Amino acid sequence: MRRMCVAVFVLAGTAGFAQAASQPPKPPEDPQVRALLDGMAEASTWGHPDQFGQYQGMVAYSHGRYAAAMRLFTIGAYYADKVSQLSIGLMYLNGQGVARDPVKAWAWTALAAERGYPRFEATRDGIWKNLSSDQRKQALAMRDELARTYADVHAKPRMIGELRYYRTQLTGSRLGDDPGVHTVAVGPSQTEGVNCMRAARVGLRGAGCGSADMASPEQWDPKLYFKVRDAQYEGTVTVGEAQRDTSSKP
């Protein structure tokens, strides 16, 4: 649940649903949140563009680099990361790096809430209450437009394709062709081993870290991967041995 704290507390304005666009984010006072941001800055997210967009977007946001944060969150959103979608919505709500737009804010948070995460639903509903009748019509239309690209029905298969492709690269070189975004973040240490240790201390399990986690089924098996990530926002889950998926659904 600590990553949820970053989404709620690092992104300014979630409590009151409004903040002056010119006001930069305050550095997080919680030392655990600060440590998590440091870990995000240096975590290796090889083969996981959803995590790359979320982690690096959070880091950029925490430093007031809103344009970069929006670009990075959009990468995460494209690969079905709900925290990234929520973050984009909150940036539109607060006018951070973009013009303040409650219609777009609701549309993005509605997409972020489609898996039923309680805190995400509360954010979506809080914005909805403050929309006029005309804005609500616009917001519904905007959500439907964004859903054509970013809803789970489209974004999850995209992410599953990344997981399956990079799973085949585990025993080969990671210096070859990369069909997607470059998802290995290099932090201040410039050393992947050190980056991975710092990230691991705060619970970030990087698939590109060359540890036992690298080949863990929950890093690459689509069902396990989404189950584990969803559990961060809706409860806890115990993951057993990976089972062969005989269904036709992704």
Distance CA 97, CA 170 (A): 38
Neighbouring CB atoms inside 10 A of 65's CB total 15
What's the whole-model pTM score? 0.72
- Residue 198 above 60 pLDDT? no
Number of domains in the chain: 1
Q: Is the separation of the CB atoms in 167 and 225 below 8 Å?
A: no
Question: pLDDT tens-digit profile of 62-119?
Answer: 888 899 999 999 999 999 999 999 999 999 999 998 999 999 999 999 999 999 999 8
The confidence score (pLDDT) of residue 182 equals 46
The confidence score (pLDDT) of residue 72 equals 92
Helix (H) or strand (E) holding 34: helix 31-42
- Domain range for 84: 1-250
The more confident residue out of 162 and 244 is 162
**Residues of the chain with pLDDT > 70: what percent?**
58
